[in-house]
């Protein structure tokens, strides 16, 4: 008799696991049923702001594999609009509610893949029935927001609450659509994923695009009229709004896991081992934004919700479910984004992370250009490095620049992953040609400056 794998969650982590398991075990050996509460599978949530802005024209371009492809090519029984409400480990079954047709179904499992993703942070004031208030966590959310923006009369004034990745990207998207945009952030700078001295560069660029940034401001409520949002109320006054976008971050979606008795770690995510098995629970795996993982620099458990990690973790889980052997080695927190032409990259620890982990460190900021100074299009690039003292081991890096900046963070991520020192980095054999870099690449300039800052 074939074993049965139940997958909870039809996006990156869950469907990567299901696909890998299928490649190693055919349908006569392993049945696979995947439950997804939304209307899509395997899509790019990171692409939603670019679809909202109009840079991506067709929403379906964000879908990597649709349900029919999984059913036809992978023999995976995908059930959309089904939300799993109970995991019964003793009876080895799940209970799912049919959100479209009503009623519920029960399905047994031999193996379980938990990939429920993350939930948006939603304070009490955001729990409203007023029209015009949106999150952008899923393609369904994106559909709803696009419909609202294209209504007649079209909204003119937008307030984005939260200055993290999604808030910054959505502020750009709404500016590109021609709205007046105010971004409200409780911290003193947007982009808290980088240090304040780098975040100020991002804020200045956003203001240059016409985005009204209000930092150090706490939202306390929403005002509505005739069932529609009209204002965002803060401790610094009220801001008119025809549309409100919430970008307050996410937390691991673990309510179902916790109710079933699956272990959670200090970051709030499901605890897994290197093979993505849930710790202490046989035949149960987890991956994606719902799990915590090891930070390779700090050595601490962290929750870093990114599609890159979810896909890799899901692949590892699926290989192991399929009878192979694979491990996930952890993360270093590499991420990039942009605000129109301004590019931002980061990897490893920020200054406050390094201090919290107990490192003694130096940090330096170096300004250079993305190309040879005489070559057309040369623009400023700012690189920040954080290095352990006295060893000089790289602990973290951040880059802000106007062109060719973001992907340079990958050079620093590789150096960080492999435990290089800033002294090692000064001799890296990086590519040079005037259209692509000065003779001393900005990464090398920053590494030299970090070496000079270390105690001798």
Burial class (CB in 10 A: 0-12, 13-18, 19+), 317: buried
Helix (H, G, I), strand (E, B) or coil at 176: helix
Of 5, 10, 21, 2, which Cα lies nearest the Cα of 78? 10
* Domains detected in the chain: 3-38+60-118+251-321 (3.50.50.60), 122-248 (3.50.50.60), 335-453 (3.50.50.60)
pLDDT digits (tens, 9 = 90+) for 191-215: 999 999 999 999 999 999 899 999 9
Helix (H, G, I), strand (E, B) or coil at 150: coil
Task: Name the band, by pLDDT with cuts 50, 70 and 90, for residue 51.
Answer: very high
pLDDT digits (tens, 9 = 90+) for 436-451: 999 999 999 999 999 9
Catalytic status, residue 340: no
pLDDT digits (tens, 9 = 90+) for 372-418: 999 999 999 999 999 999 999 999 999 999 888 889 999 999 999 99
Residue 43: the pLDDT is 93
Residue 24: the pLDDT is 97
Residue 403: the pLDDT is 85
Q: Are 32 and 133 in contact (CB under 8 A)?
A: no
pLDDT digits (tens, 9 = 90+) for 100-136: 999 999 999 999 999 999 999 999 999 988 999 999 9
pLDDT digits (tens, 9 = 90+) for 163-177: 999 999 999 999 999
User: What secondary structure does DSSP assign to 222-270, as a single string?
Assistant: EEEETTEEEEEEEBTEEEE-SEEEE---EEE--HHHHHHT--B-TTSSB
CA distances from 387 to 263, 294, 348, 363 (A): 35, 20, 11, 6
Kindly state the average pLDDT of the residues 337-357: 94
Task: Name the band, by pLDDT with cuts 50, 70 and 90, for residue 340.
Answer: confident
324: Cβ–Cβ under 8 A, 6 or more apart, which residues?
Answer: 24
Radius of gyration (C-alpha) of the chain in whole angstroms: 23
- Rounded Cα distance, 389 and 270, in Å: 34
Whether the predicted pLDDT of 231 surpasses 90: yes
pTM recorded for the entire structure: 0.94
Residue 221: the pLDDT is 95
Q: Choose, from 24, 46, 53, 131, the residue flagged as catalytic.
A: 46
């Amino acid at each position: 008799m074939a074993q049965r794998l139940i997958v909870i969650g039809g996006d990156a982590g869950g469907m990567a696991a299901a696909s890998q398991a299928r490649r190693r075990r055919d349908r006569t050996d392993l049945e696979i049923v995947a439950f997804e509460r939304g209307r899509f599978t395997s899509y790019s949530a990171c692409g939603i702001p670019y679809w909202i802005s109009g840079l991506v024209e067709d929403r379906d371009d964000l879908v990597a594999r649709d349900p029919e492809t999984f059913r036809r090519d992978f023999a995976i029984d995908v059930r959309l609009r089904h939300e799993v409400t109970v995991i019964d480990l003793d009876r080895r079954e799940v209970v799912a509610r049919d959100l479209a047709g009503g009623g519920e179904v029960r399905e047994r499992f031999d193996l379980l893949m938990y990939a429920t993703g993350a939930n948006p942070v939603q304070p009490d004031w955001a729990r409203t029935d007023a029209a015009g208030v949106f999150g952008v966590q899923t393609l369904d959310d994106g559909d709803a927001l696009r419909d609202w923006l294209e209504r007649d009369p079209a909204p003119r004034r937008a307030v984005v609450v939260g200055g993290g990745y999604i808030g910054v990207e959505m502020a750009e998207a709404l500016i590109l659509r021609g709205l007046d945009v105010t971004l409200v952030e409780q911290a003193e700078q947007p982009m808290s994923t980088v240090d304040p001295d780098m975040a100020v560069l991002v804020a200045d660029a956003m203001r240059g695009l016409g985005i009204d940034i209000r930092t150090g401001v706490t939202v306390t409520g929403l005002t509505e009229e005739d069932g529609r949002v009209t204002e965002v109320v803060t401790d610094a006054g009220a801001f008119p709004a025809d549309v409100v976008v919430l970008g307050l971050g996410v937390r691991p979606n673990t309510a179902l896991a916790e109710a079933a008795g699956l272990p959670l770690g200090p970051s709030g995510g499901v605890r897994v081992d290197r093979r993505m098995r849930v710790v202490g629970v046989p035949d149960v795996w987890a991956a994606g934004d719902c799990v915590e993982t090891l930070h390779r620099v700090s050595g601490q458990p962290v929750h870093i919700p990114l599609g890159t990690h979810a896909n890799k973790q899901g692949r590892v889980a699926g290989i192991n479910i399929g009878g192979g052997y694979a491990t996930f080695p952890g993360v270093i927190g590499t991420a990039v984004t942009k605000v129109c032409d301004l590019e931002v990259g980061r990897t490893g620890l920020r200054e406050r992370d390094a201090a919290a982990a107990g490192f003694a460190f130096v940090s330096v900021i170096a300004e250079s250009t993305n190309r040879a100074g005489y070559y057309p299009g040369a623009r400023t690039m700012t690189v920040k490095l954080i290095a352990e003292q006295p060893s000089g081991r790289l602990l973290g890096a951040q880059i802000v620049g106007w062109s060719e900046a973001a992907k340079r963070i990958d050079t620093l991520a590789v150096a960080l992953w492999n435990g290089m020192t800033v002294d090692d980095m000064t001799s890296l054999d990086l590519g040079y040609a005037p259209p692509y870099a000065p003779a001393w690449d900005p990464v090398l300039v920053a590494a030299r400056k970090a070496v000079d800052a270390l105690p001798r």
